[in-house]
Protein backbone atom coordinates (compact mmCIF):
# COMPACT_ATOMS: atom_id res chain seq x y z
CA UNK A 1 0.00 0.00 0.00
CA UNK A 2 1.45 3.32 -1.05
CA UNK A 3 1.64 6.39 1.13
CA UNK A 4 -0.24 9.58 0.30
CA UNK A 5 2.86 11.69 0.91
CA UNK A 6 5.25 12.84 -1.78
CA UNK A 7 8.61 11.20 -2.32
CA UNK A 8 11.64 13.45 -2.65
CA UNK A 9 13.80 13.07 -5.69
CA UNK A 10 17.57 13.12 -5.80
CA UNK A 11 19.98 15.80 -6.93
CA UNK A 12 17.37 18.52 -6.80
CA UNK A 13 14.77 16.58 -8.79
CA UNK A 14 11.23 17.71 -7.83
CA UNK A 15 9.18 15.55 -5.51
CA UNK A 16 7.16 12.73 -7.05
CA UNK A 17 3.70 12.35 -5.51
CA UNK A 18 2.53 8.95 -4.35
CA UNK A 19 -0.90 7.54 -5.13
CA UNK A 20 -3.23 7.24 -2.16
CA UNK A 21 -4.57 3.77 -1.43
CA UNK A 22 -8.11 4.58 -2.54
CA UNK A 23 -7.07 5.78 -6.02
CA UNK A 24 -6.22 3.51 -8.95
CA UNK A 25 -3.57 5.81 -10.41
CA UNK A 26 -2.02 9.26 -10.13
CA UNK A 27 -4.19 10.45 -13.02
CA UNK A 28 -7.36 9.39 -11.20
CA UNK A 29 -6.13 11.07 -8.02
CA UNK A 30 -5.44 14.34 -9.82
CA UNK A 31 -8.78 14.15 -11.65
CA UNK A 32 -10.58 13.73 -8.31
CA UNK A 33 -8.79 16.80 -6.94
CA UNK A 34 -9.79 18.87 -9.97
CA UNK A 35 -13.40 17.66 -9.77
CA UNK A 36 -13.51 18.58 -6.09
CA UNK A 37 -12.24 22.06 -6.88
CA UNK A 38 -14.80 22.54 -9.66
CA UNK A 39 -17.59 21.54 -7.26
CA UNK A 40 -16.26 23.95 -4.65
CA UNK A 41 -16.05 26.77 -7.19
CA UNK A 42 -19.65 26.04 -8.23
CA UNK A 43 -20.80 26.63 -4.64
CA UNK A 44 -18.83 29.89 -4.56
CA UNK A 45 -20.54 31.03 -7.76
CA UNK A 46 -23.92 30.24 -6.21
CA UNK A 47 -22.97 32.37 -3.20
CA UNK A 48 -22.23 35.41 -5.33
CA UNK A 49 -25.20 34.66 -7.60
CA UNK A 50 -27.45 35.31 -4.61
CA UNK A 51 -25.94 38.77 -4.27
CA UNK A 52 -26.45 39.42 -7.97
CA UNK A 53 -30.14 38.50 -7.64
CA UNK A 54 -30.52 40.85 -4.67
CA UNK A 55 -28.84 43.61 -6.65
CA UNK A 56 -31.11 43.05 -9.67
CA UNK A 57 -34.21 43.20 -7.47
CA UNK A 58 -33.28 46.47 -5.77
CA UNK A 59 -31.98 47.93 -9.02
CA UNK A 60 -35.45 47.37 -10.47
CA UNK A 61 -37.13 48.93 -7.43
CA UNK A 62 -34.85 51.99 -7.17
CA UNK A 63 -33.35 52.62 -10.63
CA UNK A 64 -32.71 56.35 -10.20
CA UNK A 65 -31.13 56.02 -6.75
CA UNK A 66 -28.86 53.19 -7.92
CA UNK A 67 -27.77 55.12 -11.01
CA UNK A 68 -26.89 58.20 -8.97
CA UNK A 69 -25.26 56.22 -6.17
CA UNK A 70 -22.98 54.41 -8.62
CA UNK A 71 -21.56 57.80 -9.66
CA UNK A 72 -20.27 58.22 -6.10
CA UNK A 73 -17.78 55.40 -6.67
CA UNK A 74 -14.29 56.16 -7.94
CA UNK A 75 -14.23 54.80 -11.48
CA UNK A 76 -10.47 55.29 -11.80
CA UNK A 77 -9.80 53.16 -8.72
CA UNK A 78 -12.25 50.51 -9.89
CA UNK A 79 -10.66 50.39 -13.33
CA UNK A 80 -7.16 50.18 -11.86
CA UNK A 81 -8.22 47.30 -9.63
CA UNK A 82 -9.76 45.55 -12.64
CA UNK A 83 -6.48 45.80 -14.52
CA UNK A 84 -4.62 44.49 -11.47
CA UNK A 85 -6.82 41.40 -11.21
CA UNK A 86 -6.79 40.66 -14.93
CA UNK A 87 -2.98 40.86 -14.94
CA UNK A 88 -2.75 38.73 -11.80
CA UNK A 89 -4.94 36.11 -13.47
CA UNK A 90 -2.40 35.96 -16.30
CA UNK A 91 0.54 35.48 -13.92
CA UNK A 92 -1.38 32.75 -12.08
CA UNK A 93 -1.97 30.96 -15.38
CA UNK A 94 1.73 31.29 -16.24
CA UNK A 95 2.59 29.67 -12.90
CA UNK A 96 0.73 26.54 -14.04
CA UNK A 97 2.63 26.59 -17.32
CA UNK A 98 5.99 26.78 -15.55
CA UNK A 99 4.99 24.13 -13.01
CA UNK A 100 4.38 21.66 -15.82
CA UNK A 101 7.94 22.30 -17.02
CA UNK A 102 9.41 21.90 -13.51
CA UNK A 103 10.54 25.55 -13.54
CA UNK A 104 9.84 26.11 -9.87
CA UNK A 105 11.72 29.41 -9.65
CA UNK A 106 9.43 30.86 -12.30
CA UNK A 107 6.41 29.47 -10.43
CA UNK A 108 7.59 31.33 -7.34
CA UNK A 109 8.06 34.53 -9.35
CA UNK A 110 4.62 34.32 -10.98
CA UNK A 111 2.83 33.69 -7.71
CA UNK A 112 4.78 36.39 -5.88
CA UNK A 113 3.70 38.84 -8.59
CA UNK A 114 0.12 37.60 -8.27
CA UNK A 115 0.16 38.08 -4.49
CA UNK A 116 1.67 41.56 -4.82
CA UNK A 117 -1.06 42.58 -7.26
CA UNK A 118 -3.66 41.16 -4.88
CA UNK A 119 -2.14 43.25 -2.10
CA UNK A 120 -2.31 46.29 -4.37
CA UNK A 121 -5.98 45.54 -5.00
CA UNK A 122 -6.66 45.51 -1.25
CA UNK A 123 -4.74 48.76 -0.71
CA UNK A 124 -6.85 50.51 -3.35
CA UNK A 125 -10.00 49.05 -1.80
CA UNK A 126 -8.89 50.39 1.60
CA UNK A 127 -8.72 53.92 0.22
CA UNK A 128 -12.13 53.48 -1.39
CA UNK A 129 -13.64 52.30 1.86
CA UNK A 130 -11.99 55.13 3.79
CA UNK A 131 -13.58 57.68 1.50
CA UNK A 132 -16.98 56.05 1.88
CA UNK A 133 -16.70 56.17 5.67
CA UNK A 134 -15.63 59.80 5.54
CA UNK A 135 -18.62 60.72 3.36
CA UNK A 136 -21.00 58.57 5.49
CA UNK A 137 -21.88 56.50 2.43
CA UNK A 138 -22.45 53.49 4.63
CA UNK A 139 -24.81 50.53 4.52
CA UNK A 140 -28.35 50.46 5.87
CA UNK A 141 -29.19 52.66 8.89
CA UNK A 142 -25.64 54.06 8.98
CA UNK A 143 -26.12 55.85 5.65
CA UNK A 144 -25.99 59.63 6.20
CA UNK A 145 -24.65 61.09 2.95
CA UNK A 146 -26.34 64.48 2.44
CA UNK A 147 -25.61 64.57 -1.29
CA UNK A 148 -28.01 61.73 -2.13
CA UNK A 149 -31.19 61.25 -0.11
CA UNK A 150 -33.34 59.30 -2.57
CA UNK A 151 -34.97 56.12 -1.26
CA UNK A 152 -32.81 53.14 -2.17
CA UNK A 153 -29.44 54.90 -1.89
CA UNK A 154 -28.66 53.15 1.38
CA UNK A 155 -29.62 49.82 -0.21
CA UNK A 156 -27.08 50.43 -2.97
CA UNK A 157 -24.24 50.99 -0.50
CA UNK A 158 -25.38 48.00 1.55
CA UNK A 159 -24.98 45.82 -1.53
CA UNK A 160 -21.73 47.56 -2.42
CA UNK A 161 -20.09 46.84 0.94
CA UNK A 162 -21.53 43.35 1.17
CA UNK A 163 -20.43 42.24 -2.30
CA UNK A 164 -17.04 43.96 -2.41
CA UNK A 165 -16.31 42.98 1.20
CA UNK A 166 -17.08 39.34 0.47
CA UNK A 167 -14.93 39.54 -2.63
CA UNK A 168 -12.06 41.12 -0.67
CA UNK A 169 -12.33 38.25 1.82
CA UNK A 170 -11.89 35.82 -1.08
CA UNK A 171 -8.88 37.83 -2.25
CA UNK A 172 -7.28 37.37 1.17
CA UNK A 173 -8.02 33.63 1.16
CA UNK A 174 -6.56 33.41 -2.34
CA UNK A 175 -3.39 35.14 -1.20
CA UNK A 176 -3.02 32.61 1.62
CA UNK A 177 -3.55 29.68 -0.75
CA UNK A 178 -1.09 31.02 -3.31
CA UNK A 179 1.40 31.75 -0.55
CA UNK A 180 1.23 28.12 0.59
CA UNK A 181 1.72 26.86 -2.97
CA UNK A 182 4.63 29.29 -3.38
CA UNK A 183 6.36 27.74 -0.38
CA UNK A 184 5.99 24.32 -2.00
CA UNK A 185 7.48 25.70 -5.21
CA UNK A 186 10.43 27.08 -3.24
CA UNK A 187 11.05 23.49 -2.13
CA UNK A 188 11.19 22.47 -5.80
CA UNK A 189 8.15 20.19 -5.56
CA UNK A 190 6.47 20.74 -8.91
CA UNK A 191 6.98 19.07 -12.27
CA UNK A 192 4.96 17.67 -15.19
CA UNK A 193 3.70 14.82 -12.99
CA UNK A 194 3.08 16.94 -9.89
CA UNK A 195 1.50 20.33 -10.50
CA UNK A 196 -2.05 19.81 -9.24
CA UNK A 197 -1.63 22.17 -6.27
CA UNK A 198 -0.50 24.96 -8.60
CA UNK A 199 -3.39 24.29 -10.94
CA UNK A 200 -6.00 24.28 -8.17
CA UNK A 201 -4.60 27.45 -6.60
CA UNK A 202 -4.70 29.13 -9.99
CA UNK A 203 -8.30 27.97 -10.55
CA UNK A 204 -9.36 29.57 -7.27
CA UNK A 205 -7.65 32.81 -8.24
CA UNK A 206 -9.41 32.82 -11.61
CA UNK A 207 -12.70 32.67 -9.69
CA UNK A 208 -11.68 35.77 -7.71
CA UNK A 209 -10.92 37.53 -10.99
CA UNK A 210 -14.15 36.35 -12.64
CA UNK A 211 -16.35 37.57 -9.79
CA UNK A 212 -14.78 41.02 -9.97
CA UNK A 213 -15.39 41.12 -13.73
CA UNK A 214 -19.10 40.96 -12.85
CA UNK A 215 -18.93 43.28 -9.83
CA UNK A 216 -17.07 46.06 -11.64
CA UNK A 217 -19.70 46.86 -14.29
CA UNK A 218 -22.54 46.07 -11.91
CA UNK A 219 -21.43 48.58 -9.30
CA UNK A 220 -19.29 51.12 -11.17
CA UNK A 221 -20.70 51.33 -14.70
CA UNK A 222 -24.50 51.21 -14.37
Task: Determine the pLDDT at residue 25.
Answer: 63
13 in any annotated domain: no
The pLDDT of residue 193: 81
Low-confidence ranges of the chain (pLDDT < 50): 1-11
Q: Which pLDDT score is estimated for 21?
A: 59
**pTM of structure:** 0.88
Round to whole Å and give the CA distance between 100 and 190: 7
What pLDDT is attached to residue 33?
76
Q: What is the pLDDT of residue 23?
A: 61
- CATH at residue 154: 1.20.120.80
Residue 76 resides in a domain: yes
What pLDDT score was predicted for residue 116?
A: 98
> Domain tally for the chain?
1
Closest by CA to 147, choosing from 52, 82, 69, is: 69
Per-residue model confidence (pLDDT) at position 1 = 35
User: What is the four-CA torsion angle of 209, 213, 219, 222, rounded to 10 degrees?
Assistant: 170
Q: What is the secondary structure of 171-191 as a DSSP string?
A: HHHHHHHHHHHHHHHHTT--B
Amino acid sequence: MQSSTATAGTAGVPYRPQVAAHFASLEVQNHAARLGMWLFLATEILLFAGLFVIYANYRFLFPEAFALASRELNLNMGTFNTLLLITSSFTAAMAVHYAKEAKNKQVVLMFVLTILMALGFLVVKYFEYSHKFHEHQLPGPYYAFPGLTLPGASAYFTIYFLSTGLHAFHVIIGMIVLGWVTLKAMRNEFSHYNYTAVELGSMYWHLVDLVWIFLFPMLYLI
